[in-house]
């Protein structure tokens, strides 16, 4: 889109408009003209078209509301022929941040697993393309995981980092001047570590349960996580899935005779347990 300035003058060679190379979005701006006599002023740019009757040799005042959208503009002075000038409207001061963080849930101690991107905008919704210093802070409880200042390039500032070691809420904050945007990521336990089981004979079969199931950082795996018990005996092989409840998975297995029982959760294998027959 382009801005047009048309001015009709008595002398074609004298008709000109002098425009600044850059104008800040939303700022009232004067466009000086040369020549004499009556003329017509046209402004056409991103989302705007304006026409004014003007007196040549004076300034043409353009209200800031007609210069709210960043982009390239053009000024043209016309009589029998036309004179063209160009200028650019740039974004005003950043007053808001579009802040995205990924993912919403993440395992603890996962390398380069948390990322975020911040995009600054002015009050007219123009992306601010000039370099801006954005401060990123990540905290888990009272523990600081990241404090980094990033210069936004072409309107984008971003980070990537490793998740914390403790399950719970990870708070992610982006700050630009006095603009603060906050997001939260739920950190959850990672894969089990040192998965172990114990069991014993009962009148109905075998009762087996895990030790408290934790990841390698000591976080208890959440309730509902599935643990698979596998049995191998004289009647072949069978499996039973059991959810973790309060950190422990349990199963009552109606099995007779000697049994070898193993345990797994996801890709993690535990110990084997050998139980004799009744």
The first and second tokens of residue 35, run together, are 């020549």
Distance between CA atoms of residues 219 and 152, nearest Å: 36
CATH placement of domain 197-275:
2.60.40
Q: Where are the domains of the chain?
A: 12-90, 96-188, 197-275
| 175 pLDDT more than 80 | yes
- Range 201-216 average pLDDT: 92
Taking only the tens place, the pLDDT of each residue in 4-13 is 343 333 344 4
CA distance 211 to 11: 96
Cα separation of 258 and 231, whole Å? Answer: 10
Q: Is the pLDDT of residue 166 over 50?
A: yes
Residue range 12-90 in CATH 2.60.40: yes
DSSP β-bridge partners for residue 148: 136
Q: What is the pLDDT of residues 38-81, one digit of tens each?
A: 878 888 899 888 888 888 888 888 999 999 999 989 877 776 66
Q: Name the token pair of 168.
A: 């719970």
Distance separating alpha carbons of residues 51 and 40, to the nearest angstrom: 7
- CATH code at 96-188: 2.60.40.1930
Predicted TM-score of the model (pTM): 0.76
Question: Which residues are CB-neighbours of 207 under 8 A, at least 6 positions away?
Answer: 199, 200, 201, 250, 251, 252, 253
- 177 within 8 A of 141, measured Cβ to Cβ: no
Q: Which helix (H) or strand (E) element contains residue 119?
A: strand 114-121
265-277 per-position pLDDT tens digit: 988 999 999 988 6
How many CB atoms neighbour CB 272 within 10 A? 12
Same fold, 12-90 and 96-188: yes
């Amino acid at each position: 889109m382009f801005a047009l300035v048309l001015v009709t003058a008595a002398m074609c060679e004298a008709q000109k408009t002098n425009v600044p190379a850059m104008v800040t979005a939303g700022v009232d701006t004067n466009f000086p003209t040369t020549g004499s006599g009556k003329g017509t002023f046209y402004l056409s740019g991103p989302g705007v078209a304006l026409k004014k009757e003007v007196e040549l040799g004076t300034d043409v005042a353009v209200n800031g509301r007609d210069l709210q959208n960043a982009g390239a503009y053009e000024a043209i002075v016309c009589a029998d022929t036309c004179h063209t000038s160009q200028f650019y409207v740039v974004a005003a001061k950043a007053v808001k941040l579009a802040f995205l963080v990924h993912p919403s849930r993440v395992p603890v101690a996962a390398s380069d697993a948390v990322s975020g991107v911040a995009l600054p905008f002015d009050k007219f919704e123009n992306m601010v393309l000039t370099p801006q210093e954005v401060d990123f802070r990540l905290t888990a409880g009272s523990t600081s995981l990241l404090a980094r200042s990033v210069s936004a390039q072409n309107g984008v500032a971003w980070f990537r980092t490793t998740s914390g070691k403790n399950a719970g809420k990870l708070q992610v904050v982006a700050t630009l001047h006095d603009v603060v945007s906050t997001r939260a990521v739920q950190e959850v336990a990672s894969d089990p570590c040192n998965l172990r089981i114990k069991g014993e004979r009962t009148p109905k079969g075998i009762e087996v349960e895990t030790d408290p199931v934790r990841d390698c950082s000591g976080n208890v795996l959440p309730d509902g996580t599935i643990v698979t018990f596998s049995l191998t005996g004289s009647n072949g092989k069978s499996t039973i899935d059991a959810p973790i409840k309060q950190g422990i998975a349990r199963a009552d297995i109606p099995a007779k005779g000697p049994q070898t029982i193993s345990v797994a959760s996801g890709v993690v294998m535990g110990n084997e347990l050998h139980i004799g027959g009744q």
